[in-house]
A and B are shown apart, each in its own frame.
Chain A
Amino acid sequence: MSNSGRPLSPHLSVYRWPITMTLSILHRITGVGMSFGLIVFAICLIQAAAGPEQYQYFRVALSHPIGIGLLIAWTFAFFLHLGNGIRHLVWDLGYGFEKSQANASAYFVLFMAAVLTAVFWIVKL
């Protein structure tokens, strides 16, 4: 863009970052992240169908700290995308559009995703 020195319309940088924006972006990132996780889901099933030896290779690979880290990230992504997805469905029905409600539900979804991920993994680890 040529800098003519003329005033530009306000852009992202002039706003205080709202929590609703964070959730919107996280919804996308977690969605795409889980799309990649879907590959691991399918490989898991295929390896289990291939037999005990092949499944064991997969199991050992996923037990590596990187694998566990990915699984925890996918669990968080799952709960966040699920919670925020329900938030979107409620919006689709026409409820919860007030700024205070949208902010509250954003914090609630984020909080619940963290809690549920912790509950899931405290038992597993």
Chain B
Amino acid sequence: MSLRTPLGRVLGHGSAKEGTAHFVSQRISALALVLLGGWFIVSMYLLESTAYLEVVRYIGRPLNSVLLSLLAVTVSYHSYLGVQVVVEDYVHAPGLKLLALIGSRFAHTLIAVASIYAVIRIGLIT
């Protein structure tokens, strides 16, 4: 057993240098989403019909496939960061909080992977 105080153990080590990581990640993904989201909403506005062929042709164009995949990943990440803050703010029971955070991470990863898989598959069949 160490007789050093908790303060004594951490003094001199400096901070972990990650205090702003969450904040910065949220802003950078937000910046990316201004561009990707802007492209997406304009695309949806210009899309002439929501019929199967039209939609699949749209998703299957290489540039659209790339941007849609980027959008899916970035928006999932940004959404995870946001939901994390909301959970940490409002869910106080330790067990439930952990469950919500892990569940949110799984769900967001699932959404990102499923979206990319779908986009690639549509690209291959069109």
Chain A residues in the interface with B (C-beta under 8 A): 28, 31-32, 34-35, 38-39, 41-42, 45-46, 48-49, 52, 55-56, 59, 75, 78-79, 82, 85-86, 88-89, 92, 120, 123
Whether A49 contacts B82 by the Cβ 8 Å rule is no
The residue among A41, A56, A82, A88 with the most chain B CB atoms within 10 A of its own CB is A41
Chain B residues in the interface with A (C-beta under 8 A): 27, 30-31, 33-34, 37-38, 41, 44-45, 50-53, 55-56, 59, 68, 72, 75-76, 79, 82-83, 86, 107-108, 110-111, 114-115, 117-119, 121-122, 125
- For residue B68, which residues in chain A have a CB less than 8 angstroms away from its CB? 45
- The chain A residue sitting closest to B82, CB to CB, is A31
Tell me, in angstroms, the Cα distance from A49 to B82 when the chains sit together: 29
Nearest CB of chain B from residue A53's CB, rounded to whole Å: 9
How many cross-chain pairs have Cβ atoms below 8 Å apart between A and B? 83
- The chain A residue sitting closest to B121, CB to CB, is A49
Whether A35 contacts B45 by the Cβ 8 Å rule is no
- For residue A39, which residues in chain B have a CB less than 8 angstroms away from its CB? 107, 111
**If the complex has contacts A48-B56, A89-B27, are A35 and B83 also in contact, measured as CB distance less than 8 A?**
yes
Whether B52 contacts A52 by the Cβ 8 Å rule is yes
